[in-house]
Amino acid sequence: MTDTKTDTDVVIAGAGPTGLMLACELRLAGVDVVVADRLAARTGESRAGGMHARTMEVLDQRGVLDRFLAAGTPRPIGHFSGLWLDFDQFETRHSRSLVLLQSHIERLLEEWATELGVRVRWSSEVTGIRQHDSDVEVDVGGLEGSRSTLRARYLVGCDGGRSAVRKLAGIGFPGTPATVTALLGDVELTDPPAESLFMQRRPGGDFSVFAFEPGWYRVITTKYDRVAGQREPVTFEELRESLVRIAGTDFGMHSPRWVSRFGDAARQAERYRERRVLLAGDAAHIHFPAGGQGLNLGVQDAVNLGWKLASVVHGRAPDILLDSYHAERYPVAKRVLHNTRAQAALTRPGPQTDALRDVLRSLIAYDDVNRHLGGMITALDLRYPTSDDHPLTGRRVPDVDLKTGDGRCRVFELLRTARPVLLDLRGDTALAATAESWADRVDLVEARSAADHWPVWPVDETPAPAALLIRPDGHVAWAAPAGTTPDPAALRTALTAWFGPATAD
């Protein structure tokens, strides 16, 4: 048995998509990170099935999206409780969802993390936490009874719905228990449905068949007569029998790659921060996996938290900046829990639900309804709270084309290094003078917009702004309206609020 101590800036518990994305964000900002995962190695389980538009935009901002596009399959549709939504009409370069198994997403994220110098410690389970004024001690249990203590400035729990970090930090996880049981399997089919995406509701339950890789299908069955515990073992034969009972056939199912069980339990952490401990991803929220929102929600948690945590670790911003993580992300997950509860309710058998689904299906045929539900599923409609009335503030920045002294570029290309960007679109000398006091942490870019108007979700537009302050997560922190002279005092207020006080002369 050994006892060691290791110092680092941030310990991340969990090497899934959320933990890896957070590690990459922190490393881009020059923060030392250790990722600890209780598993001995990746399981290879496929789990979640893809990415939506906002997650792809985030990866585009970092310059790594092409890796994921090369491994996945774009599809122009999504769904709300099995009612199809058209994503192609959305104002983004990446409107189509990307079908890509979580196992591949994790592999690609880990490759990127390794390039950035991230260390992943496998067989490392968080067993204890001791918080102090200036750091947190994290006890980690390893192979053959080994123990180590990691001393860090902060600990982030990205360790799933049964999060040890959340429990050790004493953060409550209220919500509602499961009321239905669903079975899932990734299998081969000798007689698959003709459609690549096939869903049906039957009196005995629901079933879905999705083609996600050449020769491979994801089969899901949902039954309402019994609620099984998520930890109760599931077998391939149980899945096959469930499909036959509901669908009347097993579609020639064989060669299972992975089988699992899930329900519609929905819970959310009471708070995302307890002093030097923070939560992200499933450690902060769990829900019925309807619409493919969970993985995307966690990755976007990481992108919101990463730059804030880095600013505090480097001493550039006050510790209170971390409270904005809960303030911004808690309502987002709360809305996801709300819409997935609605989707779960819409799967219930019976004539009342059938009638409700028919009415909703007819409403989705209207573009406004399609955009409303689609914007919610994809997170394209997200606007963080703001006191600024400019239509772009709080929203994701549009990826418009720009003309700079170095040539043409897109807005997203300015965010490759995960640094804030002050975009000057009219060559204002006062703006540059104000920004000089934050030059160590904010990039000033002078450019001209190739478009006279910029899109605003869902279908509006606004004249190209005179200037724009863009956070590292791609959301607009401040904007000067078109045709105006940017107010230096308002800019200083925004710079100080988000990126800390000015550097002393």
User: In the chain, how many domains are there?
Assistant: 3
pLDDT digits (tens, 9 = 90+) for 382-416: 999 998 899 999 999 999 999 999 999 999 999 99
Per DSSP, the three-state class of 319 is: helix
Question: Which residue is associated with the tokens 């409270």?
Answer: 323
Top mean pLDDT of 39-48, 139-148, 354-363 is at: 354-363
Whether 321 and 237 map to the same domain: the answer is: no
pLDDT digits (tens, 9 = 90+) for 6-43: 589 999 999 999 999 999 999 999 999 999 999 999 88
Top mean pLDDT of 132-136, 145-149, 176-180 is at: 132-136
What's the mean pLDDT when you consider all of the chain?
94
Give the orientation angle of helix 367-378 with respect to helix 351-364, to 10 degrees.
100
Cα 195 to its chain centre, rounded Å, is 29
pLDDT band at 77 (very low <50, low <70, confident <90, very high): confident
Q: What is the pLDDT of residue 202?
A: 87
Contact 256, 152 (CB under 8 A): no
Report the distance separating Cα 50 and Cα 492, nearest Å: 40
Say what percent of the chain tops pLDDT 70: 98
Whether 154 and 43 map to the same domain: the answer is: yes
Whether 347 and 428 map to the same domain: the answer is: no
Two structure tokens written together for 402? 């720009």
Give domain status of residue 325, yes or no. yes
Whether 293 and 147 map to the same domain: the answer is: yes
Is the pLDDT at 1 greater than 50? The verdict is no
Average pLDDT rounded to a whole number, residues 369-393: 96
- CATH number of the domain where residue 406 is located: 3.40.30.120
Whether 309 and 446 map to the same domain: the answer is: no
Total-model pTM: 0.96
pLDDT digits (tens, 9 = 90+) for 200-238: 888 888 999 988 888 899 999 998 876 766 677 899 999
Which residue range forms the structural domain that includes residue 164? Answer: 5-175+267-378
- CATH number of the domain where residue 356 is located: 3.50.50.60
Say what percent of the chain tops pLDDT 90: 84
